[in-house]
Amino acid sequence: MIVNMHNLISWYNKNRKRIWIYIITIILIFLISRRLVFMLGKRDNIANNNVLEENISNDLDSISLSSQKSAITGQNTNISKEGITVIDNFVSYCNSGNLQQAYGLISTECKEEMFPNINRFQEIYYKPIFLNGNRTVKIENWNGDIYLVDYAEDALSSGIYSSENNIRDYITICKDSENNYKLNINKYIGRTELNKTSQVDNLQVKILRKDEYMDYEKYTFEIKNGLNNKVLIANVDDYENVSYLLDKNNIKYDAIATELSEVQLTILEKQTKTIQIRYYNPYSSTRIIKRLVFPKIFLNFDLYKTFQNKDIYRDYQNIYFDF
């Protein structure tokens, strides 16, 4: 056994250089092969994406898709041909002045938020964009089902081109209860039903839903005052303590207090009231909101108003919701 081991060591010492050349050569061949497989796969993916992008673009009449990649992440994203076609149809209907068909492609939630009837759609959206002639439209995936949409003047039809008249929107593709594709337009992203309830003393606050826009979020509350006196849910003059959102990093996003009034935020004794509050929380694909807070609720507003020195009043409460 010792002799055999000695012979093996002796053989290795004589052939060591050759052995290591073989080992290194095998490792290099393996690494090069893996790299080639990766590059070929990446090239095939790029080719497939280009083919998919070309196939989608070839079937579109009124819009063009600029890229298969998300404008936010820079990564390839799954493009829904059916969803893109709905945007294309919407623009086609608007360019041809077919308001009824265009209006029919808008989601129920978006109509409730901005366009309760076709006349409102015509005044708020159609006229500012399409009244002066057809638009050429370029779209780009922003994130998920959200698309950046650039409406440009159609120089061929108008004979004049000016970038000053270009309009940018964000359109979100969604589905209705019957699984039909619909659109949220005018920077409206969509609705989330929340139905969360919090209570202090005999005051109950319920978040019904959240409506998300590119520039802000809007929450709808139902407030039930079971007390025998008026309640002020927040003081609009103390704008930092009206209400706010907190994200996972404890960054605060205040309510837009300038839109609110004392009358709106006052709940009479035994009254149930619905209020809506907007918050400075523009859309972010990574931001996570963890809490909504009403930090300073006046449980007896009539008593508060009797004090000349408001600092004496102490009957405050707070309500918060965790998500």
Note the pLDDT tens digit of each residue in 219-232: 999 999 999 999 99
pLDDT tens digits for 141-162? Answer: 999 999 999 999 876 555 555 5
Quick one: fold of 190-322?
Immunoglobulin-like (2.60.40)
Looking at residue 212, its amino acid is E
pLDDT tens digits for 231-243? Answer: 999 999 999 999 9
Q: Would you list the DSSP string of 41-80?
A: HHHHHHHHHHHHHHHHHHT-SSEEE--SB-TTT-SB----
Across the range 98-115, mean pLDDT stands at 98
The tokens for 37 are: 């497989």
Inter-residue contact 91 to 119 (CB < 8 Å): no
**Model pTM?**
0.80
d(CA 209, CA 291): 14
All CATH 3.10.450 domain ranges in the chain, comma separated: 63-186
Instruction: Tell me the pLDDT of the chain averaged across its residues.
Output: 88
Backbone angles phi, psi at 269, to 5 degrees: -60, 135
Element (H, E) at 305: helix 301-306
All CATH 2.60.40 domain ranges in the chain, comma separated: 190-322
d(CA 128, CA 103): 15
The tokens for 88 are: 């294309």
63-186 maps to which CATH number? 3.10.450
Inter-residue contact 222 to 211 (CB < 8 Å): no
Q: How many alpha carbons fall within 13 Å on the CB side of residue 258? A: 1
Question: Looking at residue 52, what is its pLDDT?
Answer: 46
Question: Looking at residue 51, what is its pLDDT?
Answer: 46
d(CA 265, CA 189): 27
Under the banding of pLDDT at 50, 70 and 90, the label for residue 3 is low
Question: Looking at residue 24, what is its pLDDT?
Answer: 82
Inter-residue contact 220 to 309 (CB < 8 Å): no
Inter-residue contact 143 to 74 (CB < 8 Å): no
